[in-house]
Chain A
Amino acid sequence: MALPLFLQTIEETGFSTWLRESESPFAFYFILLFHTVGLALLVGANTVVDLRLLGVARGIPLAPLKRLFGIMWIGFGMNTVTGVLLVIAYPTKSLTNIDFYIKLTIIGFAVWVMQRLKSQVFEDSSLSEEAMTARGLALAKWSLFLWFGAITAGRLMAYTYKYLIFP
């Protein structure tokens, strides 16, 4: 099966070539760095909420943890932007790799769970902590599982690609 030509078109643009081949420290690795930082913010903050719902550090009051969702969205935004740039740098490598689509699917589910956590557990300020925990327990477990899956799928991308650049 022939690869779609638009991959080559993107790859041959000046921007894509610069991202990929430039010696500048602000090119590919810089973007990859902020993709990792975004991951730390998004998954890190979500993990704290999940752990708390699962009963870790019960002294932490649940309601104020609502503030952490802001950090999660900053991380998600960072990773969307850097993610797009990474795909522009290596369009063939990412878009012909099924692992990439698995990663995006898992992330989609993880973000959906994240939103349900916010709306089901944290939105109603009249809920008691017991009620909040009851609503959030299953979601917290799914959240941890899905983010672990997303990190794994992302990491495996470096080992599962078929084409580095358009052949």
Chain B
Amino acid sequence: MNFANLHLLMNHFPIIGTLVGLGLFLISLVGKNEDLRRASLIIFAAMALLAIPTFFSGPGAEGAIKKLPGVSEALIERHHGAAMLALLFMEITGALSLVGLWKSQGTSRPAGWNWSLSAVLLFSIVTVGLMARVGTTGGDIRHPEIGTGHEEVIEGSTVSKLVRRFEPSPGKFAELMTATKWWWAFMMDLHFVGLALLIGTVGILDLRMLGFAKQIPIGPLHRLVPWAMAGFGINLVTGVLAFTGMGDYYTYDWAFWLKMLAILLLGLNVAAFYLTGAFESVEGLGPGDDAPPLAKFIAASSLVLWFMVITLGRYIQSFSDTISVHK
């Protein structure tokens, strides 16, 4: 398994998964099916999460093939730029889906159409289109049978010419991120602020579920989750920006990839909390009440995984160059 394998494996998620999500979303609109709509929002959120390590596996894949004959640097750059634009819209779609899911929970609120669902519809359609472009530009790099067969960049249609104007130049973007150490310091500063916000809010909820400070009812604590997501959002943005600035530094670092794995496991953890009924089982718990074993397990694994994320994040610097470039 090398980075090329990983990239080709993972790219199926943001390209096809998002398309499936959109299909289900549209069907849920026509059929006025609440459950299907929620399922499609969950798929959008999951694909947004998986798009991140997919994007991160790009530079490693590039490293694996760029010296091979017939591989065009220009085509790689075009694909990279297309991926950056698509990632932006993918993450916005994912964030809006989480807002939509947040608004749809709770029996007191009537489930109906709201602004977040209109926004999800719009952004998901754009995302699917952009992801299709990422797929085709990626294929052009190494599949001459489907592409133009040329090594220079040729935009076929009016639409692709238009989209091309919005795609950033990866090289220039990387230079921008690393131009001044003060910008880097600012991004890292926000990364720590995000972590304090995230760990504080999620940590207190997890600790309460494990039995700490039982005088606090759990339902109200749960209202802090949007703040946790804000913290996670800050870290996602600063993290992606940092990676675009120094892709090779993070790519060949074991601690970085293990950190990504821990974050994916946390995604599973969140899904488990809401989809197994654990949330319902703790939502109404008042002062002095004990949480059931499943909820406690989810809370404990959440704390352990966040500790691992902090640990691995801190060790990135120490583990640089631990993956050989030839992988």
Residue numbers of A with Cβ under 8 A of B are 25, 29, 32-33, 36-37, 39-41, 43-48, 51, 56-61, 63-65, 67-68, 71, 147-148, 151-152, 154-156, 158-159
Contact = CB atoms under 8 A, between A and B. Distances in A.
Please tell me the size bucket of the interface on B: 35 or more
Interface stretch (B118-126, B139-147, B310-318): B310-318
Contact of B200 (A32, A44, A155, A159): A44
Given A29-B318, A155-B188, A60 B197 contact: no
Interface stretch (B32-40, B155-163, B210-218): B210-218
Contacts of B249: none
B191 to A, nearest CB: 8
A48 B310 contact: no
Contacts of A159: 181-182, 184-185
Contacts of A44: 196-197, 199-201, 203-204
B23 interface: no
Contact of B197 (A47, A57, A65): A47
B216 A25 contact: no
A44 B201 CA distance: 7
Residue of A25, A43, A46 with most partner-chain B CB within 10 A: A43
A117 B42 CA distance: 40
Interface in B288-317: 307, 310-311, 313-315, 317
A44 B196 CA distance: 5
B108 to A, nearest CB: 13
Residue of B188, B189, B307 with most partner-chain A CB within 10 A: B189
Given A60-B216, A159-B182, 8 more contacts: A29-B314, A29-B318, A33-B310, A47-B200, A56-B227, A58-B220, A61-B287, A64-B213
B192 interface: yes
A61 B215 CA distance: 9
B241 interface: no
A33 B201 CA distance: 20
Interface of B: 181-182, 184-185, 188-189, 192-193, 195-197, 199-201, 203-204, 207, 212-213, 215-217, 219-221, 223-224, 227, 287, 307, 310-311, 313-315, 317-318
A34 to B, nearest CB: 9
Nearest to B215: A64
A36 B310 contact: yes
A58 B97 CA distance: 25
Given A40-B196, A40-B199, A40-B200, A152 B189 contact: yes
A90 to B, nearest CB: 14
Contacts of A151: 189, 192-193, 196
A33 B311 contact: yes
B216 A29 contact: no
A59 B212 CA distance: 18
28 contacts: A25-B315, A29-B314, A29-B317, A36-B314, A40-B195, A41-B203, A43-B196, A44-B197, A44-B199, A45-B204, A46-B200, A51-B201, A56-B227, A57-B221, A59-B220, A60-B216, A60-B223, A60-B224, A61-B216, A61-B220, A64-B213, A64-B216, A67-B213, A71-B207, A154-B192, A155-B185, A155-B188, A156-B189
B43 to A, nearest CB: 29
Contacts of A59: 217, 219-220, 223
B199 A33 contact: no
